[in-house]
Chain A
Amino acid sequence: MRSDTQRNRRELVNAAGALFAARRGPINMTDIAKHAEISTATAYRHFASVEDVLAEYRFNVGQKLRDYSLKQTTQGLDLLEAVSRKWVDLVVKHGGAMLYTRSGEGYLARLRSGAYYLTVQAEALERPLGEACAELGLSPLGDEAMFLWNILFDPREILDLINTVGLTKQQTTERLVAALRGALVGWDQDKSGKRKTAG
């Protein structure tokens, strides 16, 4: 890709992030193109829809989380808490651009069909969740653990806890990690209880 083409693409993604962070309400491709100082036609050569621009924006944020996660030397629940805290920071920093119009499809259905911005996030959480389950003495829950992390750490819910309940980022992280930890145990107990009665 030519460097000005790459630059345009980056500008569009940044512009979308800035616009969605700044205001609620409908934002169209023309708004994004104008903010990026390129033509709408050029914008559409890069992205088919505003959703696609936002997906790339979220992918980039997901990459930051993955890079952070891969650099950590801690393990298990400590690692899970560190990566979750980083995610809360990223959500607060990027705000509105992280709140997307949601798909009617479930998280696991989207993850298993390879939605690219979900897979990078899942990579960031793979070791933390796997090790946390092991530390808690649970069976490996695979993407079911990711399912639980995802619904608890949904950007909309994080911002709800901060803005509506008035929790700090630190409190939000601690509370959600504690809830997740319980949720993993509860999930596993029911799952293995069922296996026992079935077997």
Chain B
Amino acid sequence: MATISTAPGLRSDTLRNRKHIIRSAGRLFSEGRQATMADIARAAEVSTATAYRHFASVDEVLARFRFDVGSELLEYSRQQQVTGLALLRLVSTKWVELVVTHGRAMVHTRSGEGYLARLRAGATHLTVQADAVSPALRDTCLELGVDDPGDEAMFLWNILFDPREIFDLIDTLGLDPEDTARRLVATLVAALKGWCSPEAGHRP
């Protein structure tokens, strides 16, 4: 995926247009609408042709939007003074807040490929999210006294903190965002212990 907004030498109005397109897409999808590129362009007050010069498809705009949300999570994670489980709690809670704020824009039509396959292939919005969460997971494993399972810990975090499941817990079970985050962290920590336990046949 292109990351033009961080590339030097771009004209400022081009950068501004790009930012507007990403934000407009995020806003439209957050409101639960199925927007086309023309809708996004209209909301961003640029022409559809301009929108297509920046992004090949609506999915690409949304991927960039999710990358930006992931970057926000990463920045938040880096600002925290705590480590380990305390950090994991803070970052996971922040993630649930971000998901709730951005609503349906965070629920992606999923790829048939698995999370680890995509992460290892370097899908950018997944890598930035992994950068935000991995240090906390690694230290949590140390605190728990279990062997760090590497990106398999991130695999477990990802399936539990999938935006679609977060909304399911909030909308269907009626949990509030704070309860959801706490419940999921408790579940994740215990799942992680199980994953790394000898009963799981983990390699020594």
Contact = CB atoms under 8 A, between A and B. Distances in A.
Top 3 closest pairs, chain A to chain B, by CB:
A160-B114, A106-B168, A186-B190
Interface in A166-180: 170-171, 174-175, 177-180
26 contacts: A101-B110, A102-B164, A104-B107, A104-B164, A105-B164, A106-B171, A108-B168, A108-B169, A109-B168, A109-B171, A151-B165, A156-B110, A156-B115, A161-B116, A161-B155, A163-B114, A175-B200, A177-B200, A178-B195, A179-B156, A182-B191, A183-B190, A186-B187, A190-B182, A190-B186, A190-B187
A160 B159 CA distance: 12
Contact of B191 (A99, A104, A179): A179
A57 to B, nearest CB: 15
B137 to A, nearest CB: 14
Given A109-B172, A157-B155, A160-B117, A179 B194 contact: yes
B165 A183 contact: no
Contacts, number: 127
Interface of A: 24, 96, 99, 101-102, 104-109, 112, 144, 147-148, 151-152, 154, 156-157, 159-161, 163-165, 170-171, 174-175, 177-187, 189-191, 194
Contacts of B152: 165
A175 B201 contact: yes
Contacts of A184: 190
Nearest to A98: B112
Interface of B: 104, 107, 109-110, 112-117, 120, 152, 155-156, 159-160, 162, 164-165, 167-169, 171-173, 179, 182-183, 186-195, 197, 199-202
Contact of A99 (B107, B112, B171, B183): B112
B115 A160 contact: yes
- Centre residue among B104, B117, B165, B190 by max chain A CB count within 10 A: B190
A159 B200 contact: no
